[in-house]
A and B are shown apart, each in its own frame.
Chain A
Amino acid sequence: MNLLGENIWINGVIIIVGSAILVFIGGAFGMLYRGIDRKLVAHMQGRVGPPIVQPFRDVQKLLMKENIIPDGAISWLFNAAPFLALISTGSLLLFIPLFGQSALLGRYGDVILVLYLLIIPSLAFVVGGFASSSPYATVGAQREMIIMMSYEAPLAVVVLGIAWRISQVTTANPFLMSTIVQYPIWNMLGPVGIVGTLLMLFTLVVVTVGEAAKVPFDVAEAETEIAGGLLVEYSGRNLSLFYLSDVIKTFAMVSLVVALFIPYNLSPVLGIKAALAAGIVDGLFFLVKVLVVMFFSISLIRAGMARFKISQASTVYVIVMTAIALVGMLLVWVDVVI
């Protein structure tokens, strides 16, 4: 999908309109998936659970509520942080392939950019937390910084591992999403490499939990400990923006897992040639892939574990997960050598 022709003005309009639509779609599907996640977890816990549209109602309600700014807060920073979070998560969607199509701005940014963009929402949360002048939020912000720095290492190792393997078979830039989609990693692996890639997939799934700030890695919010941590002082519109950026980030992160590890489309298999029909089939197949990844990486893990302490969560990422990812990378290398 090459939207970008020669005329810079048309390009500009397409990018702006496309981004707006994409953020809107990302938000809608993010909330839908949040609703499904809550329903799934509720059933796993023997509860009925909220209706699937609950996240939409939550946002609707939050938008109607008063937007309270605490007296001690640095108000411009306190108000700016939610926007920063939403904008940065929205721009993530521009660089990740969605609905079986290539990324809207895929030519202008690669996986490395996505990794950096993933940091910004967390930083916005931290800024908002520190700006709200609550001791709970301060503790939450400190924890968020630690957890953010902790999952960077395993995440980087996984991305590097995949890119390196792809660089062995092609001269194209292996970090570009289009290249990764074009050369699915599983197609070029022997048995050893498959084990290694599975380890990297596992690492990325665990990192996804941290990125989405869910149990057991929801230390920065930790309701029973620091009463919502970072978000303790947020309400009304600001909270709804954080909520939206949270659901979009989860959606984007899961889409990234899909893009890196399951970049297959259904239409070539079914032999559908028509562009529209193929687009619909691939789009639906993408939604199914996201659902499956979300179930294993978020719902299942958060229903089955207790919350870690910050020291434990950090250890899990910095030592255990990095080690697993490195072993996975090593196995992929061994696979190439033998």
Chain B
Amino acid sequence: MAVGETKKATYTIPIGPIHPALKEPIQLMLEIEGEKVVNTDVLVGQVHRSIEWLGMNRNNPVQTLYLAERICGICNICHPFCLAMAVEQAANLTPPDRAEYIRVIAAEMERIHSHILWAGVAAHEIGFDTVFYLTWRVREEIMDLIEYIFGNRVTKAVLQFGGVRRDITAEQLPRIRKSLDYYKSIFEHLRRIFLEDRTVRMRTRNVGILSTEDALKLLAVGPTGRASGVPKDVRQDQPYSAYADLNVKAITPDIVTGTVVGDVYDRIIVRLLEVKQSVEIIEECIARMPEGPIMSEPKVPRLLHLLTDAAGEGVGRVEAPRGEDIHYVRLEAGQSTLATWKVRAPTYVNLMAVPTILKGMQIADVPIVFASIDPCQSCTNRIVVTDKATGRKSVVGYEELHRLSVEKTKELQR
């Protein structure tokens, strides 16, 4: 170093795996210079549960469908929806039209509750707890509606290969309309809170910027990508299920502000408008929903037999609240489980953008910026155990995990 030249010392702050800003375990190693983030390393793999392994070794496909709901508590429609589409493609099943509409209604309700949940979390991250409580109270309306229609608030168990398990009856429609009207009536209120409040704007404008080029380069999906001005939406680009009848347009923030910045504020805009869009989609679905059966094969034993005999490959793509979800499935004739099942949740790709959007931010920005991609760790985690000494990699399976957890429990009991 030359005379008079100084070098700024950096230090490392770990955020996670357990930290108040994170709702699920993940570790961000932040290299900090003063209050500024210089570099970020994202370490995933803290909540692995061997779900794919279970689907390929222990469960029959119908059981796997309900296991898929449990990949993530929030995306409990989009994962089974995606898996159902993949299996239906592989086994040549065609769900009836009415079932497709009910699926879309369920998926859009999920999007409404997920986005409002995110808004609350985001408010909490910037220390605005009043808004956090307000939005979660607003969210209760859609949760009650989901419970009313599908019988459960969270895991709804409504999908089945070749259809859905519950119909939406004519008596239920007034209740649905009431909830939708409620969201339409409070939309303006939410918009004022999130888009016009000074402190919210101070904390989110020009924070965590992901430029359009970076979004394209890092393959950001869902609201994260759309907020950066990439009009990418599976519902628009490759309409699946009943979306083929509907005309969904990807929402980008320039609709409201006229420009695309790609910051946290833009992500709020996109999610807020998507809530409104989802309400409209549900309304349209209710209006256009045809009469008819809701399942192509109502008898489960026969369905299982059919799936055991089937052979082929299928890919399901669904626009989850966080972005594009992909399930790949391969069926082999005579095998009662899925031969191959691969889940790629949207957060998996969006995590690639995290080091970019955190660069140059202050520590205070880290929680809201990281939360702005709406990360979902439980969707994302895979486990590969690497033995550093030998460099050997191995996958921990069900028996091994079970044995380890029994050991741990015994150890704790002592």
Contacts and interface: CB of A to CB of B under 8 A. Distances in A.
Q: How large is the interface on A (under 10, 10 to 19, 20 to 34, 35 or more residues)?
A: 20 to 34
A218 B126 CA distance: 11
Interface in B171-212: 197, 199-200, 202-203
A229 to B, nearest CB: 10
Contacts of A139: 13, 32, 35, 363
A215 interface: yes
Given A46-B137, A136-B13, A303 B130 contact: yes
Given A47-B133, A135-B12, A136-B13, A308 B202 contact: yes
B35 A307 contact: no
Q: How large is the interface on B (under 10, 10 to 19, 20 to 34, 35 or more residues)?
A: 20 to 34
A312 B202 CA distance: 8
Given A307-B126, A307-B203, A135 B367 contact: no
A309 B133 CA distance: 22
A44 B137 CA distance: 13
A310 B362 contact: yes
Interface in A253-277: none
A58 interface: no
Contacts of A44: 130
Contacts of B127: 215-216, 218, 222-224, 306-307
Which one of B19, B123, B134 has the greatest number of beta carbons of chain A within 10 Å?
A: B19
Main secondary structure of the interface of B (DSSP, over half): helix
B20 interface: yes
A54 to B, nearest CB: 17
Interface string B344-363: 00000000000000000011
A219 B362 CA distance: 12
A75 interface: no
Interface in A301-323: 303-312
Contact of B130 (A45, A224, A226, A311): A45
Contacts of B133: 45-47
A201 B35 CA distance: 32
Contacts of A224: 20-21, 124-127, 367
A45 B203 CA distance: 21
Contacts of A198: none
A222 B129 CA distance: 12
A309 B19 CA distance: 19
A115 to B, nearest CB: 27
Interface of A: 44-47, 135-136, 139, 142, 215-216, 218-219, 222-228, 303-312
A223 B21 CA distance: 8
A225 B21 contact: yes
22 contacts: A46-B134, A135-B11, A136-B13, A139-B13, A215-B127, A215-B128, A216-B199, A224-B125, A225-B21, A225-B367, A227-B20, A227-B21, A306-B126, A306-B127, A306-B197, A307-B128, A308-B202, A309-B202, A309-B362, A311-B35, A311-B362, A312-B202
B319 interface: no
B366 interface: yes
Interface of B: 11-14, 19-21, 32, 35, 123-131, 133-134, 137, 197, 199-200, 202-203, 362-367
Which one of A226, A227, A304, A311 has the greatest number of beta carbons of chain B within 10 Å?
A: A226
A222 B203 contact: no
Contacts of B129: 45, 215, 303
A304 B14 CA distance: 30
A5 to B, nearest CB: 51
Contact of A227 (B19, B32, B125): B19
A225 B20 CA distance: 8
Nearest to A219: B364
Nearest to B127: A307
A47 B129 CA distance: 11
A312 B11 CA distance: 23
B42 to A, nearest CB: 18
A304 B130 contact: yes
Nearest to B126: A306
Given A135-B11, A224-B125, A227-B19, A306 B200 contact: yes
Which one of A44, A142, A223, A304 has the greatest number of beta carbons of chain B within 10 Å?
A: A223
Contact of A306 (B20, B32, B203, B366): B203
Nearest to B368: A224
Contacts of A304: 130
Contacts of A215: 127-129
A85 to B, nearest CB: 23
Given A223-B20, A225-B363, A309 B203 contact: yes
A253 B18 CA distance: 35
A304 B13 CA distance: 30
